[in-house]
């Protein structure tokens, strides 16, 4: 399941797929518990709001649970239904996303151009303050990802569906939900993510006091 994406910091100002093309900035990794730059629509225009990736756990708001919402049941699951119905839907523009099969090895999926990942969001009272948090919407994996194997992938929105998903173009709930579909026939690059090697700690010696601690 996806728990990491890459995006460019200046995409926070890009509120359309075409807005990503002009950036020369270095991309950075966003993980669960990071603040994602989420594109939303407020009834007048699109803009970007930072939101924590992961709804707060009911037992401890500092823990993220859940971090994903299944597209098939997003309109009936209590945690997500109100946000979906009330238009608390957003988009994260991403350069790539990670998937991990059952053995836990991370794989990086890189489409030929940035993609818009569907999210739903809510406002919570947490730790005595207001917290904006979002979860990534997922759909059934396509043939490429099933080969890992993994059963889910992010819901990647067609550019033509952005306005409907954001609520900019009025649509019935069924039409909004229809935006969430598996992308098949994708020509994506998939590479195994290599973990950074951990330096072996030297055996402590009297001549190396720091090595004793």
- Decide: residue 102, CB within 10 A, 0-12 exposed, 13-18 middle, 19+ buried: exposed
112-157, pLDDT tens digit by residue? Answer: 989 999 999 999 999 899 999 999 999 999 999 999 999 999 999 9
Enclosing H/E stretch for 173 = helix 173-177
Local structure of residue 188 (DSSP, 8 states): -
Measured distance CA(51)–CA(77) in Å, rounded: 21
Does residue 100 register a pLDDT over 90? no
Q: Please tell me the predicted confidence (pLDDT) of residue 14.
A: 72
pTM of the model: 0.87
| Contacts of 101 by beta carbon, 8 Å cutoff, 6+ apart | 107, 148, 149, 150
The answer to which of 99-103, 190-194, 200-204 has the lowest mean pLDDT is: 200-204
Q: What is the mean pLDDT of the chain?
A: 87
Three-class DSSP labels, 70-87:
EHHHCCCCHHHHHHHHCC
67-78, pLDDT tens digit by residue? Answer: 999 999 999 999
Domain boundaries, the chain: 4-194
Q: Please tell me the predicted confidence (pLDDT) of residue 201.
A: 45
Banded model confidence at residue 194, pLDDT cuts 50, 70, 90: confident
Q: Please tell me the predicted confidence (pLDDT) of residue 12.
A: 66
CATH class of the domain comprising 4-194: alpha beta
Banded model confidence at residue 207, pLDDT cuts 50, 70, 90: very low
Does residue 197 register a pLDDT over 60? no
More confident of the two residues 79 and 9: 79
Measured distance CA(91)–CA(164) in Å, rounded: 12
Q: Please tell me the predicted confidence (pLDDT) of residue 210.
A: 38
Residue labelled with tokens 């001549």: 207
| Contacts of 189 by beta carbon, 8 Å cutoff, 6+ apart | 108, 109, 110
Does residue 205 register a pLDDT over 50? no
């Amino acid at each position: 399941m996806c728990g990491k994406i890459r995006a460019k910091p200046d995409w926070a100002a890009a509120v359309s797929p075409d807005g990503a093309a002009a950036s020369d900035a270095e991309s950075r990794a966003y993980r669960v518990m990071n603040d994602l730059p989420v594109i939303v629509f407020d009834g007048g225009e699109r803009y970007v709001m930072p939101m924590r990736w992961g709804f707060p756990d009911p037992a401890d708001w500092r823990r993220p649970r859940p971090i994903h919402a299944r597209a098939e049941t997003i309109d009936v699951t209590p945690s997500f239904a109100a946000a979906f119905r009330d238009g608390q839907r957003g988009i994260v523009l991403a350069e790539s996303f990670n998937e991990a099969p059952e053995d836990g090895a991370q794989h990086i999926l890189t489409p030929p151009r940035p993609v818009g990942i569907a999210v739903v969001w809510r406002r919570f009272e947490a730790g005595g303050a207001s917290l904006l948090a979002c979860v990534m919407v997922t759909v059934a994996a396509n043939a490429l990802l099933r080969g890992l194997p993994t059963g889910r992938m992010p819901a990647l929105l067609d550019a033509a569906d952005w306005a409907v998903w954001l609520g900019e173009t009025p649509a019935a709930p069924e039409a909004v939900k229809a935006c969430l579909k598996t992308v098949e026939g994708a020509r994506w690059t998939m590479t195994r993510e290599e973990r950074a090697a951990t330096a072996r700690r030297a055996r402590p010696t009297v001549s190396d006091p720091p090595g004793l601690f």
